[in-house]
Amino acid sequence: MHGFDHEHLESISGFLGQYYLALALMNAVAAFYVWHKAQRVWLAGFWAVVSTGYVMLSPLAFGGNGSWWMPTLGTRIEHFVNDMTGPVVYSLGIVCSLSTLFVFRRFFVRPVVAWTGLNLMLLVMGLSMADAAFASIVTKADNVPIVGLIYLLCFFTWLAASRAVENDDRMSRGLPPREKDDNEKVLVWPDLVYTEMICMIVLTAGLIVWAIVLEAPLEEPGSTVKTPNPSKAPWYFLGLQEMLVYFDPWYAGIVLPLTAVGGLMAIPYLDFNKQGNGYYTIEQRKFSYITFQFGFIIIWITLIVLGTFLRGPNWNFFGPFETWDAHKARALSNINVSDWFWRDVMQTSLPKAPSGTGKITELAYIAQREWLGLLTVLGYFMLLPPLMATTVFRKFFVRMGFVRYMIMSNLLLMMATLPIKMVLRWTMNLKYIVYIPEYFLNF
């Protein structure tokens, strides 16, 4: 964005003023809680100071029209973020930051650290909202659930991790996990049914309020010759839509989703680890934990967020503070493995069956043309499992047996095809490893 849009600032200033007030209240409550319950005066004082800071931000935001005093991230930071974010930085950055969170989880699950992180997230969110491009995407009725999803996901991941860390500590001291300590049985009625009923009522009320406050994002009548630009799937399918960018429809739209569902159903039969039943733990189930978090947070949620906030017209990648320009020039010529091999390495044209030959000859020519890609794919799925069985997954292979190990390793490899292909596309403009358009078989 170039400077700040005054019209936008006026329209958003009221909301932002209240937003900062709400943050101040949130921190005041936290300070009171820390002082009253935990008796930690210094910490309470710190949160009180933070709360005061938000109170001071609020009138500035309410003022709104003068960009001097408006709390913003600043144009320079926004430009920097825009320039920095590309698909590679975004995805690899998330992988790296999540790995950091995982490795240093003992530090990050501490309530003080988590509360600081929440404050930072909310503050950056508020500062970014002063930007017209960012606000227009985030406040779109379609996208509000995704914003909520990010915060909810952070909270629940933190909750599970903090419980798991606590249990791991207890178990390392020889104590049973916390869940075993208070395993008093409760009755379905009233304990469970009452909870469910209250949840139901609260959820219904929330949905009604939501439906009234946020207007349904209705668009013009559909037409076969006009596709909205950008044309986005419902938010929960945005991960799938992003997958479709990198693969042929039969693979990303049919094989991968079905494999994901089937693989999830197979988990109980593949899992041989008897530990971690009925309580949170990471230490005892490291492989399961990492695999799940990778598959869910990285491959599914990250792609939804990417599709929601960072994909603009013509499915181009846009930075979070970038205006969605439908004519953003982005020259990209994707090449296939066969093109690369025959044209660039061998310096010849692609082998092509002379016209008028039979099916068998044609197939032979196709095989010759695509031999490198075919071998790569076959090797990936046939050589890697035995290789992994003798190296990293040796224990797994011994405990699982041949069939279960092969199923598990192939599921893992299929899951890994997605990030591998994405990175190859972004870094090397790779289009298809195997390219057989004659039979709609591209991989």
Partner 1 sequence: MADKKKMSVADMLAAARKADGGGGGEKSAEKPADADAPAAPESVSPKASAAEEQPTKKSAASGERPSVADMLKMARGQGGGEKPAAEKSKPTAKSTAKPAAKAKPAAKATAKPGAGAPKDTASILAAARKTEKPGPMSKADAAARSDKQGAGKAGPAKQKAAKAKLTVPPMPTKPDYAKGKPGAKSKPGAKGKPGTKGRPARAKAGTEDRRGVMSLMFGSALGVGFTMLGATHVLWGLATTRFMFPNVLVEPPSRVKVGFPADFPQGQVVTKFKAQFGIWVVKGEYDGLQQIYALKTVCTHLGCTPNWLDAEQKFKCPCHGSGFYADGINFEGPAPRPLERYAIKISEDGQLEVDKSKVFMQEKGEWNDPASFVSV
Binding interface with partner 1 (CB under 8 A)? 187, 223-231, 241, 244-249, 253, 313-316, 327, 329, 331-334, 355, 432, 435, 437-438, 440, 442
Cis peptide before 190 (omega within 30 of 0): yes
Dig out the tokens for 301 from the structure: 């949620």
Nearer to partner 1, 314 or 323 (CB): 314
CB of 92 to partner 1, least distance (A): 20
The span from the CA of 137 to the CA of 128, in Å, is 11
Nearer to partner 1, 42 or 439 (CB): 439
Q: Which long-range contacts (CB under 8 A, 24 or more apart) does 329-335 make?
A: 332/429, 333/429, 334/425, 334/429, 334/430, 334/431, 335/429, 335/430, 335/431
Among 422, 423, 91, residue whose Cα is nearest residue 247:
422
The span from the CA of 25 to the CA of 421, in Å, is 46
Nearer to partner 1, 76 or 226 (CB): 226
**Residues 316 and 326: beta-carbon distance below 8 Å:** no
Nearer to partner 1, 406 or 441 (CB): 441
- Residue whose entry in the numeric block shows the structure tokens 């890697």: 384
**Residues 243 and 252: beta-carbon distance below 8 Å:** yes
Among 443, 436, 441, residue whose Cα is nearest residue 370:
436
Provide the 10 A C-beta neighbour count for residue 125: 16
Nearer to partner 1, 159 or 367 (CB): 367
CB of 432 to partner 1, least distance (A): 8
The span from the CA of 352 to the CA of 368, in Å, is 9
CB of 243 to partner 1, least distance (A): 10
CB of 380 to partner 1, least distance (A): 20
Please report, to the nearest 10 degrees, the dihedral formed by the alpha carbons of residues 302, 307, 310, 313 taken in order.
170
Amino acid, single-letter form, for residue 295: G
CB of 332 to partner 1, least distance (A): 4
The span from the CA of 272 to the CA of 155, in Å, is 29
The span from the CA of 23 to the CA of 121, in Å, is 11
Nearer to partner 1, 227 or 277 (CB): 227
Nearer to partner 1, 20 or 246 (CB): 246
Nearer to partner 1, 54 or 435 (CB): 435
**Residues 297 and 153: beta-carbon distance below 8 Å:** yes
Nearer to partner 1, 248 or 370 (CB): 248
CB of 67 to partner 1, least distance (A): 32
The span from the CA of 443 to the CA of 424, in Å, is 13
CB of 337 to partner 1, least distance (A): 14
CB of 299 to partner 1, least distance (A): 17
Nearer to partner 1, 207 or 254 (CB): 254
Among 385, 389, 405, residue whose Cα is nearest residue 270:
405
CB of 308 to partner 1, least distance (A): 15
CB of 252 to partner 1, least distance (A): 8
Q: How far is CA 17 from CA 23, 30, 44, 69, 366, in A?
A: 10, 20, 24, 13, 64
Query: What's 434's DSSP letter?
Result: S
Nearer to partner 1, 402 or 440 (CB): 440
Cis peptide before 230 (omega within 30 of 0): yes
CB of 314 to partner 1, least distance (A): 5
